[in-house]
Structure 1
Amino acid sequence: MLKGWGLSWGGWLDNRRGEWWLLAQLTLITAHLCPAWPAHGQLGLTPWPLGLVITGVALLGYGAVLAVRAFLDLGDSLSPLPAVRDEHRLIVTGAYQRCRHPLYQAVLCCSLGVCIASGSGLHLALLLGLIGVLGGKARFEERDLRRRYPDYATYAQTTTAIVPKLPWLDWSTL
């Protein structure tokens, strides 16, 4: 499966298929496993408000549901790399009907949920990092999609990129 996704040692060295975007994304996602910092006691908020914990957990769950739906809709076109492979097909139905990058939207939703549930400045920084990385990764991917699929430009003008009305996460053209 890894070879089918186009992963190679050469790509990790020269970023030919966007491997560095993937590495940055995986690093930031994995860092979400770190404990909240600063600790709530240092902020004078012990315990963290239950309403925020519930809201954060609900967002995390919603993000997981979004991710499963997007994974299923992608089918054989699923790849962790932003470069489009020859055997990919353009998916514009299901989760991709309302958002061009629903997996990135799901990751951001999960990250926001962890941030709210934990009340962590560290996790807020990770969320902001993910916004930068996923916005850049999506742009890398879209340059390839526009070259490969002539009707992608029309789809992009009528469908939110990642999060509606947020400049770095929603753009109509590249």
Structure 2
Amino acid sequence: MHSSKQPWWRGHRGEWFVVLQAILFALILFGPRTAPGLPPWPETAAVVTSVVGALLIAAGLTMSVAAALHLGSNLTPLPHPREHATLVITGLYRGVRHPIYCGVILMAVGWALFIHGWLTLIYAAGLLLFFDIKSRREERWLIERFPHYIEYQQRVRKLIPFIY
């Protein structure tokens, strides 16, 4: 007998996004930092980029944790909102629609600067692109659940406060 149930990672709530996200996180943390032909990290900038990187990691971690705590029981790794979710547009969500993603992007860029990884910077840019795509799907589901989300979208930037 053949079951019509899909594997969990191909589920209808965006489970494959979580799998891809985990792969990107692993690449950022453990992937190759450089490649043949890429110039070495400038020695004169090493101390500055390490300090800036550490500050970005701390800021991103603080932002992500604060945003996750503010979501409370609405928090889910899946882009599909929970069954009894409420729309949160206060706190950090007043300045950016996806502050957890913003914080994670800050941490990824900070890590790349801290470890002086050219390829890691590219992976961080890939993470930004990934979160842009994931948030588009997430926002379609949020509009279905909360029609007034459209007004919030028009008023608040998506991933980077004041910019994008």
With normalisation by structure 1, the TM-score equals 0.81
Percent identical pairs in the alignment equals 31
Cα deviation digits, residues 48-97 of structure 1 (max 9, x gap): 62111001111011000001110111000000000112211110111111
RMSD (CA atoms): 2.2
Contact 1:55 1:116 in 2 (8 A): yes
Contact 1:100 1:156 in 2 (8 A): yes
Unaligned segments of structure 2, at least 5 residues = none
Contact 1:70 1:96 in 2 (8 A): yes
| AA aligned opposite 1:23 | V
Unaligned segments of structure 1, at least 5 residues = 1-7
Q: Tell me which residue corresponds to 2:29.
A: 33
4+ residue segments displaced more than 4 Å: 44-48
| Structure 1 residues 16-165: aligned runs within 5 Å | 16-34=12-30, 36-38=33-35, 43=40, 45=42, 49-164=46-161
Distance 1:98 1:120 in 2: 30
Contact 1:11 1:17 in 2 (8 A): no
Contact 2:95 2:162 in 1 (8 A): no
Paired residues, number: 157
| AA aligned opposite 2:134 | K
Distance 2:147 2:66 in 1: 26
For residue 37 of structure 1, report the CA deviation from its aligned partner: 2.2
Distance 1:107 1:44 in 2: 23
For residue 33 of structure 1, report the CA deviation from its aligned partner: 2.1
For residue 114 of structure 1, report the CA deviation from its aligned partner: 0.9
Q: Tell me which residue corresponds to 1:4.
A: none
Distance 1:107 1:121 in 2: 18
For residue 9 of structure 1, report the CA deviation from its aligned partner: 6.8
Contact 1:73 1:94 in 2 (8 A): yes
With normalisation by structure 2, the TM-score equals 0.86
